[in-house]
Amino acid sequence: MENFLRPIYQEHASNSNTLGILTIEATQFDRPLTDGFDSILLIIVREQSNNWFVKHYEVEEKTAALHLVKEEILMEWIDTSGYRRAVEWIIYGRTIYDRNEYVKQLKEELRFFPEDKRDLRKVIDFGKLVKSYSEAKLLYDAGEIRDAHSKILNSLHYLARLSVIDHGYYPEVTVWNQVKNIDLEVYKLYETLLDSNESIEKRIELMLIAMDFVMNNRAHSASKHLLEIMDKQEEPWSYASIKGTTDVQHYTYDLSAILSYLVEKGIVEVVLLETKNPAVFQRAYRLKEK
């Protein structure tokens, strides 16, 4: 396979548009890093008309996938967890071409995980956690036990990712292996849901209580990105004004769920603003005074 791939990456290495090339072999890792292929070839380019181009190959019963990715798209994936595989490919991949140490610097950035990027990733996963947890509660109250169980499992997954980020690491596909080593509190919740001898109804009931406690304790840290934006002005924020802020674009779909949770927990308060109709008020939001 190496003999087949070499002419491909050598051709791209000679192109001034290419920033870096990495390869990932399935035999190197005991994890689903390569999407079932024997090899992955990741080529990062500065500019191209197609943001993400993929081609699959097979040679002598060995398979390979070529990913040609525009730098701008790759950085968006890294910042927002848009495609988690790509982050792991950079972290674990073997560098075979590196223009002006671009890949080396990218690997270093991923290793240190800057705080501003960490805060953004936390609020993105926190929004998904809050929404999934809220849906689990509603389904449980409606007697839809198996669907509630599924949502609780999803919620635990987002809680695990949040924990990993909070400890300064990028979440991997095998996130529970990471959590087991850094956050036993969250890992025990996962074990309880899967291995408890209680009935499924009782397990969900206990999970809802335990997760509410854990989420409440981590709400300020998890929503720091949003809270710092809201703290930039003393006047209450309309929902539209928050949603229209460029910095929240990566979690606008979950913004309403995040705000509702922060209001419920007394971190944010609602301010009612008058409208032309004296019986109707517009809800606005501001940080609750301590």
pTM (whole model) above 0.75: yes
Task: Report the candidate in 12, 13, 46, 28 with the shortest Cα–Cα distance to residue 94.
Answer: 28
CATH code of the domain occupying 115-287: 1.20.120.330
Predicted local distance difference test score (pLDDT) of residue 3: 74
Indicate the class that CATH gives domain 2-112. Answer: alpha beta
- CA 89 remoteness from chain centre: 16
Portions of the chain given CATH number 3.30.460.10:
2-112
Residue 1 contacts residue 39 (beta carbons within 8 Å): yes
Tokens of 72: 């701008």
Per-residue pLDDT tens for 143-197?
999 999 999 999 999 999 999 999 988 887 778 988 999 999 999 999 989 888 9
Per residue in 273-289, pLDDT (tens digit) is 989 999 999 999 999 98
Residues of the chain with CATH 1.20.120.330: 115-287
For residues 287 and 231, is the Cβ–Cβ distance under 8 A?
Answer: yes
Q: What number of residues does the chain have?
A: 290
